A and B are shown apart, each in its own frame.
Chain A
Amino acid sequence: MAMRIDPCRAARALAAIVFMLTGAVASAQPQSARPDPLLAHGFERADAGPATDAAAARFLAQATFGPTLEDIAHLRAVGYAAWIDEQLALPASTQVPYLDWVTTLPSQPDGNNHVTDATRLEIWAINALGTPDPSRGNVRPRDALRQRVAFALSEIFVVSNKNGTLAYQPWALASWYDMLATNAFGSYRTLLEDVTLHPAMGIYLSHIQNQKADPTRNIRPDENYAREVMQLFSVGLVQLAADGTPVLAGGQPVPTYDQATVRGFAAVFTGWNWNNTGCGPGSYTCCTVQTYTNCGPYDYNVPAWKLPMQPIEPFHDTTSSKQLLAYPGSTLPGGVLAAGGNARAELAAALDNLSQHPNVGPFIARRLIQRLVTSNPSPAYIGRVAAVFANDGQGTRGNLGAVVRAVLLDAEARFGQWNDTARFGKLREPLVRTTHLWRAMNAASTGGRIDTINPYPPIEDWYGQGPLRSPSVFNFFRPDFRRHGEIAAAGLYSPEFQILSDTMAVGTPNRLFSLAFCWHSDGESCWTNGRGATLYLDTARDATLAASDPDALLARYDLLFLSGQMSPFMRATLRTRLVAITGANRGRQRVQHALYLILNSPEYAIQK
């Protein structure tokens, strides 16, 4: 890992001293400009530290669903490298057992033991927040990095309850998410196979019950999964250099594949059907040659929704040779898979063909960096992470745990905010702003379940996103979205801005308003719930401090929410607001107003 020395840093540090001594704001400088901290960084290795609580909070904002005071202290104690080691070793906290547990509960209050897609979001929230899981004897999930990366993967490998079938299959979607979490630090090749064979994906991109060509009926293999597995899950549309920049020919990007390749993969993905575990009389129709398109589960919590698809060989295309990806080093001559293989053998060959393509490293690296760290990583940063994808140092390709470590411990991730002060970072996703609020404020429900993640109307109507609720396989937002105006003019990408429409610019703050002002440790201000499933912010933790010392409150929230990056302007603005609140409840009310204004401020909204 190269050490980064910024020659301008000394000059900026001097300027910062002048700034702090004079307290003056130059007229041309925006009010939120903040002085650089002095000698706080940059002379140590990127993976050493954290040297300060603020550095720890900043790392946790990238690596988890939001820092807590407890996690900051622990990270300071063990350091980045050991913290990542701990996290990589923790098994996945999963969702399926929670759904199973809910079915065993008493039926009252009404609907208490019903499992719907809202139940899936309860356990998503429990695992994201690390609140006690009532289905596991109130164990607190501790795999914060894994849960955060699983969410990032769910925005790359997309299935969604907006599909007419999956809307009513919470076990299928929970099982899908568990599959992502389980594979989050494993092998990309394994992940790709599990993605390909999961019945939720089989339904979502329609390769379940896909069949070989039948010229007499003008039937051809379904191309849906074949196209998207290339475009979105592995290699992308155009050939990439090792640092993710497009390869150009005559000034134009070079396509990675063409329609013949789509047809080749479509023919590979023929013959797959439901897993027959548990099928039979009294259950559901087993999948056979005779029942090929008329089999599968009805009930939503049977094994077939959770187990990998199985082949029915007579429906697999064994007679055509298949054009797969052609690239230097491909083990298939010309990228062509010779005819004759069975469904499983051809699938393995095709997934090898995909996962060994040189595009995969930079393609996945850029997406993970964008999800966790910054919207516009430098090619060098992408290249360093892609190199780890290609070889984790032990000769293994596609080690996702090593890739995640490389994403987070890169010099650009740790110090980018100082080197590109006006552009580094990303818009925080509304869901992550929400988990951040809950985690930082030790939110908990009295009964362990969580209704607060399921508002009315559904969460995606407020945020433009919800876990596994994308409107299409292209995710809530795309990696190459550029917001109109200054961002587009600068040639930058800003994926998360795609869901910041005028509608969501009101919906998201209003949801955060509810969370800050309606449910807190003094009680319920707006609505009563009655099921013990409302998340209350622990406003009491900070109320005494807020009542007596608003500056200390702001210092705490600067650390928890802004990683110590709050500008003097913002601090002064918030202070003016807080001291205007008087009266007996001023402590709690100051906490609430501080939280709302921070959560909806430009400085917080951009994670830097």
Chain B
Amino acid sequence: MHVHRRRFLVRSLAALGGAGLSGAFGSLRAFAAATSQQAFPPGDFKALVCIFLNGGNDSFNTIVPYSAQAYADYRSSRTVLMANGGLAFDQATLQANALVPRAPVAGLPGGPPSDGANYGMHPAMAGLRGLFNDGRAAIVGNVGTLLHPTSQAAYQAGTVAVPPQLFSHSDQTTTWQTSRPDDANANGWGGRIADLLHAANSGAIPMCISLSNNNLFQRGDTQDSYSIDPSGVEKLSYLGEGPESWVIGPNAAGIAAWQALVAEGAQAHLFERAFADSSRKAVDNYEVVDAALSGAPTLATSFPDTPLGRQLRMAAQLVQVRGALGMARQVFFASVGNYDTHSYQIDDQQANLAQLSGAITAFQAAMDELGTADRVTTFTASDFGRTLGVNGDGTDHGWGGHHLVVGGAVRGARFYGAMPSLRANGNPDDTGYGQVIPTTAVDQYAATLARWFGVDTAGIATILPNLGRFASADLGFMS
């Protein structure tokens, strides 16, 4: 059982009787952030929340057809029912967890699934299914990394270029997060959005905030990201307000020495400068965030005590204090692992998707509480989809997969893009080996979110230079 750090800090602070020692840094920056609250109209706020499912989610066992032909196709791939130790849902379970799509609106994308089938959602995801059926979540079918639109024939003949190192975790995670399969050195599309929009924020901390340590998605060409422990701000003990600062007492001379050692420009070696930069920025940023969070009332919404639940609770708290942080735009990154279900898929996916659904559902409730539900959009991403075929008790690395977009600004209760066949043999939509060829590019998925977020057409073209190769620059799932 993982017990998180905040509790440890609270306990240790209590142990020292709440000794109030003045911080070494940040008072000026915290002051600047606090006074910038009026610098932008409160209505002009938007946030994107990327939830990365590490390992490659088996979306073909997450959103599953139950109408006759499509279900028969599914069962030709997933031949053994769960009751018999296999991976396949029975039809009744799927029907009992049915997704109820809304009719299309004339002239706009989105509606019932493209294949005309009925779909259910994994029974562990009751909360997300409710959000879908309420019109606050949408499904984008068969998204994946692409260089150009391609087909089975083109793939098998090798006539259309595809992203390098398909089916490799590290490479496909990179490509999903950069959407630049043609540029191995590209930064992330979340970070590149921040490059364009950073002037929207007046505060001191980066637009991109990670709840899950360093990631490529939030790395910009010019803009940095900030990572925060989901359990809360921890300060450096040596600087006076950390967990064990009391043991050394007043330490002004020590603080001065530390500051001198990490001061900008004091290091001769390139890596030393980078280390000093990390040290300074961590402190500067935590002072600003701590000042903002400590003034905020507690959220009434309770979150599941899971890794993702804790991450999204912190994201909600940072949405709550966006004014104090001087932020009109926020890009969050959360991630959870154990999606690489080569084995034990039934148990692991059940736990994974329950965690995902519970955390997102709580997050939406918190956004309702804060009145920001229409202003915050959450979306999933993952290394790749998984194979239609099985290897016994799991599945292998695939390519395209379905994804979820959640929020009040989402044109929900609709499917977007094309739903692929799940047939084992003679499947027109796979590589020939059960790996489904994406029909919607990550570029299109990203562009749709970026447009809603406020990036203009010219900006989108710079972030996603390959977008023009695909049929639509806007999938229409955002209002």
Contact = CB atoms under 8 A, between A and B. Distances in A.
Given A32-B267, A206-B394, A506-B235, A219 B277 contact: no
Nearest to A33: B268
Interface in B204-226: 210, 213-214, 219, 224, 226
A372 B169 CA distance: 26
A129 to B, nearest CB: 23
Interface stretch (B72-80, B126-134, B137-145, B355-363): B72-80
B411 to A, nearest CB: 35
Interface stretch (B18-26, B250-258, B294-302, B369-377): B250-258
B167 A262 contact: yes
A490 B185 CA distance: 12
Contact of B234 (A219, A422, A510): A510
B391 A513 contact: no
A219 B85 CA distance: 13
A514 B171 CA distance: 39
B214 A518 contact: no
A507 interface: yes
B270 A423 contact: yes
Contacts of B262: 601-602
Given A222-B396, A255-B164, A606 B80 contact: no
Tell me if A's interface is mostly helix, strand, loop or mixed.
loop
B271 A501 contact: no
B237 A608 contact: no
A293 B392 contact: yes
Contact of B337 (A457, A472, A510, A603): A472
Of listed B229, B254, B279, B392, residue having the most chain A CB within 10 A: B392
Interface stretch (A57-65, A331-339, A481-489): A481-489
Interface residues of A, number: 96
Tell me if B's interface is mostly helix, strand, loop or mixed.
loop
Interface in A414-441: 421-423, 425-427
A29 B267 CA distance: 9
A498 to B, nearest CB: 6
Interface string A234-269: 000100000000000000110100010011000000
Contact of A218 (B243, B286, B343, B390): B390
Interface string B366-389: 000000000000000000000111
Interface residues of B, number: 89
Nearest to B261: A601
B389 A218 contact: yes
B282 interface: yes
A16 interface: no
A456 interface: yes
A471 B55 CA distance: 11
Contact of B79 (A33, A217, A262, A525): A217
B469 interface: no
Contacts of A222: 342-343, 391-392, 394, 396
Contacts of A164: 338, 344, 348
A464 interface: yes
B5 A502 contact: no
B268 A567 contact: yes
Interface string B332-344: 0000011010111
A87 interface: no
B277 A485 contact: yes
Contacts of B387: 220
Contacts of A473: 169
A487 B271 contact: yes
B275 interface: yes
A224 B389 contact: no
A223 interface: yes
Interface string A445-483: 000000000001100010010000001111000100001
B76 A421 contact: no
A427 to B, nearest CB: 6
A32 B266 contact: yes
Given A501-B214, A602-B276, A29 B269 contact: no
Given A502-B282, A505-B282, A224 B396 contact: yes
Contacts of B244: 510, 513-514, 517-518, 526
Given A218-B390, A513-B238, A457 B282 contact: no
B100 interface: no
Contact of B236 (A474, A483, A500, A510): A510
Contacts of A581: 253
Contacts of B83: none
A510 B344 contact: no
A17 interface: no
Contact of B237 (A464, A484, A488, A513): A513
B38 interface: no
A237 B168 contact: yes
Nearest to B5: A457
Nearest to A262: B167
B274 A497 contact: yes
A263 B392 CA distance: 15
Given A164-B338, A500-B278, A486 B391 contact: no
Interface stretch (A342-350, A363-371, A568-576): A568-576
Of listed B166, B236, B387, residue having the most chain A CB within 10 A: B236
Given A457-B4, A501-B210, A503-B228, A486 B279 contact: no
A602 B171 contact: no
Contacts of A505: 278-279, 281-282
Contact of B258 (A259, A507, A597): A597
A221 B433 CA distance: 12
B108 interface: no
A575 to B, nearest CB: 10
A31 interface: yes
B184 to A, nearest CB: 9
B272 A606 contact: yes
A372 to B, nearest CB: 16
Given A506-B282, A506-B286, A605-B275, A597 B257 contact: yes
Contacts of A217: 79-80, 390
A39 interface: no
A136 interface: no
B26 to A, nearest CB: 13
Contacts of B4: 457
Nearest to A602: B272
A218 B268 contact: no
A573 B261 contact: yes
Given A237-B168, A255-B165, A573 B260 contact: yes
A596 B269 contact: no
A222 to B, nearest CB: 4
A275 interface: no
B397 interface: yes
B29 interface: no
Of listed A33, A502, A573, residue having the most chain B CB within 10 A: A502
A69 interface: no
Contacts of A219: 389-392
A295 B175 CA distance: 40
Contacts of B273: 486, 602
B384 to A, nearest CB: 12
A502 B261 contact: no
Contact of B257 (A494, A514, A576): A576
A206 B390 CA distance: 13
Nearest to A222: B391
B271 A34 contact: no
A576 B271 contact: no
Contacts of A11: none
B392 A606 contact: no
Shortest 7 CB-CB distances between A and B: which pairs? A505-B282, A602-B272, A222-B391, A577-B257, A206-B342, A501-B213, A33-B268
13 contacts: A30-B267, A31-B266, A209-B392, A216-B79, A223-B342, A263-B433, A293-B393, A456-B3, A457-B2, A504-B213, A510-B244, A581-B253, A606-B269
Given A262-B167, A487-B270, A517-B247, 7 more contacts: A218-B390, A252-B164, A421-B269, A500-B214, A597-B254, A602-B272, A602-B275
